[in-house]
Amino acid sequence: MADFAELGLRPEVLRAVADLGFEEPSPVQARAIPLLMAGRDLIAQAMTGTGKTAAFGIPLVERLDPDNDAIQGVVLAPTRELAVQVAEQIHQLGRHRGLRVVPIYGGQPYERQFRALRAGVQIVVATPGRLMDHMRRGTADLSGVRIMVLDEADEMLNMGFLEDIEFVLSHLPEERQTALFSATMPDPIRDLAARYLTEPETVTLGSPRGTTVEAIAQRYYEVPGRHKFEALVRVLDVEQPSLGIIFCGTKRAVDDVTEGLRARGYRAEAIHGDMSQMMRERAIGALRGGRAELLVATDVAARGLDIEQVTHVINFDLPQDPEYYVHRIGRTGRAGRSGEALTFVTPWEMREFRFIERSTGARIRRAAIPTAAEVAERERELLAERVMSVLRNGATARYRALVEELSEDHDPVDIAAAAIAMAEQARGSDGADRSAAAQASAELEAWLRRPPPPPAPPRLSGQRYSGPRRGPAPWDRENRPERRGPLPPRGGPNGPPRRFTSRRRQD
């Protein structure tokens, strides 16, 4: 995928993009930005979480003139929250160009909005009704508008804003660019586009089953295969899922991961195709009854499972294709709850992972594997929370007399510390496991602290340098594939394991 510089952005905008921490354009950005920069009208099917705001925000801040005080760009959004959020992101993007943005929404005092509009702004992000009011009152002059964006058009229609939107659109200059963003494309949206857009280009981010669910925060961790289990444990220690499903590629991996997790004190259950129906039911019963917090599963075994309140879906192994990714992560974020989808990707699998990301149109954020210090800090917090909860529950009365007695000879702080140490020992796993775990943790820590790669080499003509963070760099001996050039056939002597086919056979 192109990087932002290849999109031909101004240095001020590139700087703003870098300030926001965006490393490369999301799929909708890669497709929409060039079209919008070329002045085309656009219909984009993309939902929250795909990076759609910057997909129209970047062209807005690129194309508008900071030296002209007229309103040149209008974004209509369904809710006050979204208007504020979009205005904030456009403000960030346009910062170094000196563009001014204001959110205008119902419920806020008019006086403040009059002032903001009078002060001269180039971009207004508004809810339709309130903008219409300003137009009628003559307090928002839209005669200089060059770019109009309808954000979450389907939501605006659902909320009954159609007439207001049409009022705004019909009062804008004919010579303008219009972009419509919507998660779904029902007929009324298509009608609206047909009436108010001129020869629009269409960008659809097709995912196998519509689009991935917006309530799900998606992250990925890049880690070599040999450190993956340890990385999983750290992520679990920090995330503390109250109910998580961990997907593995093979039955063998399901068994290994389940066993490993149990050895670390997790209440994990396994399901895969080799297990009898009764064993599977027992595993799921443990999960439903709160006796287990993690279910480790293959895709096939998890098919049709309906477990409520899954807080985390963890792809310990990459799914075999984008459709499976969508299926898997769709198990969390249900019924209006938020959910987390975490994916472990080895450097080897980066290309495959990017393909999944591109095909689902999802924005999957890179996340750092927690360091040992972060895990320790989180454990400290959790321990403190547990102590506080016992205190709050008043379950301490029967031990007070004992503590008072011990206090005659010892400092109460020492006594409390000893009591916590005792409780922690009782929770811990046995010594042998612990030393193996410590070894694995030290190895992961050493990998996390490996020296940074040397500065990027110059770009070679005809060959795209894709940056040091996206997979093994050529100089990274440890993670370097054994052969350069095109990937060897899967399963060949030097190639990666034949994952796809072997996995399919597993269940």
The residues of the shown chain that bind ligand AMP, judged by CB under 6 A, are: 22, 25-26, 29, 48-54, 363
Greatest CA separation for the chain:
87
The residue (of 26 and 258) whose beta carbon lies closer to ligand AMP is: 26
| Min CB(52)–ligand AMP separation in Å | 4
| Min CB(22)–ligand AMP separation in Å | 3
- Residue 225 and residue 194 in contact, taking contact as beta carbons nearer than 8 Å: no
| Min CB(86)–ligand AMP separation in Å | 8
Spacing of C-alpha 181 from chain mean position: 20
The residue (of 365 and 410) whose beta carbon lies closer to ligand AMP is: 365
| Sign, Cα dihedral of 212, 193, 203, 103 | negative
Residues facing 75 on adjacent strands: 125, 149
- Least Cα distance to 46 among 366, 341, 364, 362 occurs for 362
The residue (of 51 and 472) whose beta carbon lies closer to ligand AMP is: 51
- Residue 343 and residue 219 in contact, taking contact as beta carbons nearer than 8 Å: yes
| Min CB(25)–ligand AMP separation in Å | 5
The residue (of 75 and 297) whose beta carbon lies closer to ligand AMP is: 75
| Min CB(313)–ligand AMP separation in Å | 19
The residue (of 261 and 356) whose beta carbon lies closer to ligand AMP is: 356
| Min CB(405)–ligand AMP separation in Å | 56
- For the chain, the distance separating the N- and C-terminal CA atoms, rounded to the nearest angstrom, is 35
| Min CB(363)–ligand AMP separation in Å | 5
- Residue 181 and residue 56 in contact, taking contact as beta carbons nearer than 8 Å: yes
Phi, psi of 245 (to 5 degrees): -115, 130
Amino acid residing at 189:
I
- Residue 319 and residue 191 in contact, taking contact as beta carbons nearer than 8 Å: no
The residue (of 179 and 297) whose beta carbon lies closer to ligand AMP is: 179
Helix intervals (H) in 97-152: 110-118, 128-137
| Min CB(136)–ligand AMP separation in Å | 30
Q: Does an H or E element contain 365, and which?
A: strand 365-366
- State the Cα–Cα distance between residues 83 and 103, nearest whole angstrom: 6
| Min CB(98)–ligand AMP separation in Å | 21
- Residue 505 and residue 298 in contact, taking contact as beta carbons nearer than 8 Å: no
- Residue 219 and residue 365 in contact, taking contact as beta carbons nearer than 8 Å: yes
| Min CB(5)–ligand AMP separation in Å | 13
Helix intervals (H) in 240-276: 251-263
124 burial class (0-12, 13-18, 19+ CB within 10 angstroms)? buried
The residue (of 44 and 132) whose beta carbon lies closer to ligand AMP is: 44
The residue (of 206 and 412) whose beta carbon lies closer to ligand AMP is: 206
SS (H, E, C) 188-246: HHHHHHHHHCCCCEEEECCECCECCCCCEEEEEEECCHHHHHHHHHHHHHHHCCCCEEE
The residue (of 25 and 347) whose beta carbon lies closer to ligand AMP is: 25
The residue (of 51 and 128) whose beta carbon lies closer to ligand AMP is: 51
- State the Cα–Cα distance between residues 318 and 325, nearest whole angstrom: 8
The residue (of 57 and 496) whose beta carbon lies closer to ligand AMP is: 57
- Residue 151 and residue 53 in contact, taking contact as beta carbons nearer than 8 Å: yes
- State the Cα–Cα distance between residues 344 and 224, nearest whole angstrom: 9
| Min CB(239)–ligand AMP separation in Å | 19
Amino acid residing at 332:
T
| Min CB(470)–ligand AMP separation in Å | 13
Let me know how long the chain is.
507
The residue (of 118 and 464) whose beta carbon lies closer to ligand AMP is: 464
